[in-house]
């Protein structure tokens, strides 16, 4: 069997897995799980904006808050299954999905593979919190950055990570402003979903641009403590002039992304 045959066989297997009803159902659960996490992050951000909480407004903070509820632990395992399913669907999409040809196809496949990694990381974090072994996302970000900075050329690598995250943030802002996120859906979900998506993508994009900027600052200053992830970015906003109101506006936008994610769970192309 030649290399081309192996590739074609892998693509056929990926397409079969991608089309499996269980994988598709799990992917929809994953989008709903993402919606819940973003709503909780938005709630934590609002509390920080008006001085009512010191819990980090990031994935680990949201998952920890969920775990503290009487029904939280079982729901966390549902989220784990959803994130794993969504990661599997993105992975099979990157291998066996139709992406056209040329540079756009390469970009589309890389994007799907990157999303699979992100969702696997979320599943891992949710599982750790469910088992009582969760750690702060900000702390993990700082420790990882510290390890990278110790490597030869680590400062450049951290800077590149920052630029990539800024690029992802700008992509989100543009996607929201142009309403191109509607292309991900099989039908028009209505005005509520559309406006929630616009607010959500723009707000999340702004937050990611700040996250990337903090990584770049960590690279320039060689200070890993600057790279505190989403929680650090939202905390940075609240420290600026009119910070509580700015963070409140971003929190409302992130809540919008959460609402849109529930619509996406129903109407997405899987």
pLDDT of residue 153: 87
Q: What is the pLDDT of residues 123-156, one digit of tens each?
A: 999 999 888 876 777 778 888 888 898 888 889 9
Residue 268: DSSP 8-state:
B
Of 46, 145, 127, 52, nearest in space to 83 by CA: 127
Q: In Å, how far from its chain's centre is CA 268?
A: 17
| Residues listed for the chain | 270
pLDDT of residue 94: 79
Q: Which domain holds residue 145?
A: 3-267
pLDDT of residue 173: 96
Q: What is the pLDDT of residues 69-96, one digit of tens each?
A: 888 889 999 999 999 989 988 888 877 6
pLDDT level of residue 11 (50, 70, 90 thresholds): low
How many domains are there within the chain? Answer: 1
pLDDT of residue 70: 86
Whole-number average pLDDT of the chain: 85
Task: Look up tokens 């191109």; give the residue.
Answer: 180
Q: Using an 8 Å Cβ cutoff, are 45 and 254 in contact?
A: yes
Q: Give, in order, the Cα–Cα distances in Å from 221 to each of 12, 151, 157, 226, 228.
A: 48, 15, 13, 9, 14
Q: How far apart are CA 149 and CA 223, in angstroms?
A: 9
pLDDT of residue 98: 58
Neighbours of 192 (CB within 10 A): 12
């Amino acid at each position: 069997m030649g290399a081309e045959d192996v590739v074609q066989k892998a693509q056929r297997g990926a397409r079969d897995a991608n089309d499996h009803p269980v994988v598709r159902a799990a992917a929809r659960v994953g989008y709903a799980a993402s919606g819940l996490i973003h709503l909780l992050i938005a709630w934590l951000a609002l509390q920080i904006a008006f001085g009512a909480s010191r819990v980090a407004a990031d994935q680990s903070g949201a998952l920890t808050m969920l775990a503290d509820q009487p029904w939280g632990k079982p729901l966390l395992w549902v989220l784990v299954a959803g994130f794993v399913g969504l990661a599997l669907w993105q992975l099979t999409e990157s291998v066996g999905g139709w992406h056209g040809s040329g540079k756009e196809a390469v970009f589309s496949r890389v994007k799907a593979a990157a999303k699979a990694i992100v969702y696997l990381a979320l599943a891992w974090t949710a599982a750790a919190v469910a088992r009582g072994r969760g750690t702060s996302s900000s702390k993990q970000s700082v420790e990882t950055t510290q390890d990278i900075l110790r490597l030869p050329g680590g400062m450049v690598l951290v800077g590149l990570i920052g630029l990539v995250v800024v690029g992802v943030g700008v992509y989100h802002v543009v996607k929201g402003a142009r309403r191109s996120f509607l292309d991900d859906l099989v039908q028009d979900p209505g005005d509520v979903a559309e406006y929630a998506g616009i607010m959500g993508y723009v707000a999340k994009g702004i937050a990611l641009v700040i996250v990337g900027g903090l990584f770049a600052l960590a690279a320039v200053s060689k200070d890993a403590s600057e790279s505190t992830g989403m929680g650090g970015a939202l905390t940075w906003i609240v420290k600026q002039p009119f910070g509580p109101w700015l963070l409140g506006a971003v929190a409302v936008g992130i809540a919008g992304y959460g609402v849109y994610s529930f619509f996406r769970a129903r109407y997405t192309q899987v």
